Amino acid sequence: NAGVTQTPKFQVLKTGQSMTLQCAQDMNHEYMSWYRQDPGMGLRLIHYSVGAGITDQGEVPNGYNVSRSTTEDFPLRLLSAAPSQTSVYFCASSYRAGGNNEQFFGPGTRLTVL
């Protein structure tokens, strides 16, 4: 199993550009989520999904869209990039939602918005 994969590893955008961060898992996990991590800080939850066709907002959803058309994929879209979105983005998955389920994290995407 590849686990959780993310592409790209690095990305530089100009203000106003849009892009999609890809996330995929091959563990047949129901729950997937996106976090952002700013320098020296913890992770903040952006959006999450408890299954295909179901998504919801986390604590910092503004400026981001998600969709979950398949169990495997959970892309994160930046609609109009801003410098404040410069961060490292992590995708995670777990067998199911809930605090009793281990989350598996991808390697991250380092995004810089100029």
Partner 1 sequence: LAKTTQPISMDSYEGQEVNITCSHNNIATNDYITWYQQFPSQGPRFIIQGYKTKVTNEVASLFIPADRKSSTLSLPRVSLSDTAVYYCLVGEEGYNNNDMRFGAGTRLTVKP
Q: Which residues bind partner 1 (CB under 8 A)?
A: 4, 31, 33, 35, 41-45, 48, 50, 56, 58-59, 90, 92, 96-100, 102-108
According to DSSP, the residues that pair with 33 across neighbouring strands are 48, 92
Output 77 or 96, the one with its CB closest to partner 1: 96
Quick one: 18 exposed, middle or buried, by C-beta within 10 A (0-12, 13-18, 19+)? exposed
Output 35 or 74, the one with its CB closest to partner 1: 35
Q: Which amino acid type is present at position 29?
A: H
Q: Which amino acid type is present at position 18?
A: S
Output 17 or 51, the one with its CB closest to partner 1: 51
Q: Enter the tokens of residue 6.
A: 């993310």
CB of 33 to partner 1, least distance (A): 7
